[in-house]
Amino acid sequence: MFLADCQARLAFDLLAPTWNAVVVCALRHGPRRPGELRAEIGGISPKVLTETLRRLEANGLVARRAYAEAPPRVEYELTELGQTLLGPIQAVGKWALDHAEDVLAAQDRWEESLETSS
Amino acid sequence: MFLADCQARLAFDLLAPTWNAVVVCALRHGPRRPGELRAEIGGISPKVLTETLRRLEANGLVARRAYAEAPPRVEYELTELGQTLLGPIQAVGKWALDHAEDVLAAQDRWEESLETSS
DNA sequence: TCCGTTAGGCACCGAATGGTGCGCGATGCG
DNA sequence: CGCATCGCGCACCATTCGGTGCCTAACGGA
């Protein structure tokens, strides 16, 4: 597992872009419109949100539904495949909540050691 | 969870660089020297390996031990914090093994639809 | 008629990541 | 002496990702 060309790498490519996991998580309770996602997530620009949704769609994690109305209405929702990803994502999220302090403390120690040595 | 400034984002920043999770996993059975890691992982350049190890060290996930010998000898091993990350990493890896086919099939469908529409 | 709303395309920029190639220092071996 | 080994630093390059700003299409309301 996890050698150079292992399939397990595929999942990390999916989760690597900053907002992918955030958007998947924001969709966990059902379909959402882009405007709702922007409001709920906060701090994501419209361009990046559509890019993120396109990536997720290209990998079969979300489905896009457009309605021929005006003003235009679009909804995104998790596919079955996307929902199976919620478990691993939340496992990582839980680890972060449990150990964020340790990581931040380690980062501080690292900064200090850089100053000391310079 | 997973709003713009949530702590959970921290873990994804840790796992985002391509090789971080691979290297953490390669260290799961004890200390390793850089040369061993390069051979075991395969496909990673020396520069990128040291960069990856520096990042992991800066976040308190691995510890570096240098021995004053010649030729120089260096060992890296997981810290306690690094070992706690093995669980979530393997949860994601297991998802990838279980669903890699679905993702690849979705990617193929996406490519096809691009050709059709163009 | 003019404006706001909604989704999203396009041009451009800056930072991070990954990769190649070259070099250094210190030692052991032929 | 000359060379290989090992870890690692530096210069340089290409790609990706995130971000800002500007524009379009289509309709409803003032």
Residues 12-41 of A with CB under 8 A from B: 12-18, 21-22, 25-26, 40-41
* pLDDT value of position A16: 93
- CB atoms A102 and B94 under 8 Å: no
Q: Which nucleotide shows the minimum CA-to-C1' distance to residue A34? A: C7
- CB atoms B58 and A3 under 8 Å: no
Round the average pLDDT of chain B to a whole number and report it: 91
* pLDDT value of position B85: 96
* pLDDT value of position A9: 87
Residue A22, CB, less than 7 Å from strand D? Answer: no
CA–CA dist B114, B118 (Å, integer)? 6
Residue with more model confidence, A5 or B60? B60
Out of 1.10.10.10, 3.20.20.140, 1.10.40.30, 3.40.50.12160, the CATH code matching A8-85 is 1.10.10.10
What string of pLDDT tens digits covers the 118 residues of chain B? 555 557 888 999 999 999 999 999 999 999 999 999 999 998 899 999 999 999 999 999 999 999 988 788 999 999 999 999 999 999 999 999 999 999 999 999 998 887 776 5
pLDDT at A4 over 60: no
Q: Which residues of B touch A117 (CB under 8 A)?
A: none
Per-residue confidence band for A3, with pLDDT thresholds at 50, 70 and 90 = low
> How many distinct helices (H) and strands (E) make up chain B?
6, 2
Is pTM beyond 0.85? Reply is: yes
